[in-house]
Amino acid sequence: MMLQTILQKHTNTNDYIYGLANVSGLLSGEYADYKYGIVIGKRLDNTIVDKITGGPTPEYYDHYKNTNKELTELAIDISDKLNINGIQSIATAPSLGGKKQDSKYKKYLSLDISHKMLATRAGLGWIGKSALFISYKFGPRVRLVSILTNTLIEFCNTPVNESQCGDCNICVEKCPARAANGIPWNTTIYRDNFFDANKCREMCRIQGKKHIGFDASICGICVAVCPFGN
């Protein structure tokens, strides 16, 4: 179908994963009325991620910025193509997309769109003990973006509903913020019950200042240490 043609045209390398998700009733706020989503993951460069041992590197920071830019453009491009073909859709931002000062964001460290949720609904992987999305193909070494629509373009993939981390606790042990408590994820456990986002953000600020030189708010240790995808 057209979707595959469009996606393959845009994501014509082996560095991407994508899938269709049924998110009916799962999104909130400005996205609450959307039923379906296309989620796309771009693989991070292993040579850059492997160097995140004691903390983030300037190279990782640049990679993160460039990948965000690429995913922003990709989502807009795909959404435009769908709209031209009569499928109304909306592109979302890979990161905060200007919501940093939003009072709801500041209070809950949470947006109306969770790309990780779309990714589990699209059957591409699960949520790790680190609260990161762990893809079957690249582990947590992916950045994500989503495009939302109310048209059922194709059948949605079978969702993944629980952690596949098993007994592994490497990310829990290596997190400098001690943000994760080791409880394995399933769809009934809210983030705050197994992962302290405030502790993580505080440590991202410290790590950014220490290793990049300003409040870059970035870390990545949990991405680098995960045995999946490396």
Q: Are 113 and 31 in contact (CB under 8 A)?
A: yes
One residue of 48, 212, 223, 225 binding ligand B12 per CB under 6 A: 223
Which range of residues in 30-38, 75-83, 109-117, 162-170 is near ligand B12 by CB under 6 A?
A: 109-117
Which range of residues in 32-40, 79-87, 162-170, 215-223 is near ligand B12 by CB under 6 A?
A: 215-223
Which range of residues in 1-9, 14-22, 81-89, 195-203 is near ligand B12 by CB under 6 A?
A: 195-203
Q: What is the Rg, in whole angstroms, of the alpha carbon atoms belonging to the chain?
A: 17
Residue 130 touching ligand B12 (CB under 6 A)? yes
Q: Which is nearer to ligand B12, 153 or 218 (CB)?
A: 218
CA–CA separation, 66 and 59 (whole Å): 10
Residue 197 touching ligand B12 (CB under 6 A)? yes
CB of 86 to ligand B12, least distance (A): 27
Near ligand B12 in 147-186, by CB under 6 A: none
Residue 219 touching ligand B12 (CB under 6 A)? yes
One residue of 144, 153, 165, 212 binding ligand B12 per CB under 6 A: 144
Q: Which is nearer to ligand B12, 153 or 223 (CB)?
A: 223
Residue 95 touching ligand B12 (CB under 6 A)? yes
Q: Which is nearer to ligand B12, 2 or 50 (CB)?
A: 50
Which range of residues in 12-20, 32-40, 148-156, 192-200 is near ligand B12 by CB under 6 A?
A: 192-200
**Which amino acid is it at 112?**
D
Which range of residues in 28-36, 74-82, 135-143, 148-156 is near ligand B12 by CB under 6 A?
A: 135-143
Nearest Cα to Cα of residue 151 among 53, 22, 6, 62: 22
User: Can you give the chain as a three-state secondary structure string?
Assistant: CHHHHHHHHHCCCCCEEEEEEECCCCCCHHHCCCCEEEEEEEECCHHHHCCCCCCCCHHHHHHHHHHHHHHHHHHHHHHHHHHHCCCCEEECCCCCCCCCCCHHHHHHCCCCCCHHHHHHHCCCEEECCCCCEEECCCECCEEEEEEEECCCCCCCCCCCCECCCCCCCHHHHHCCCCCECCCCCECCCCHHHCECHHHHHHHHHHHHHHHCCCCCCCCCHHHHHCCCCC
Residues within the interface to ligand B12 (CB under 6 A)? 26, 64, 94-96, 109-111, 113-117, 120, 127, 130-133, 140, 142-145, 187, 191, 195, 197, 200-201, 204, 218-220, 222-223
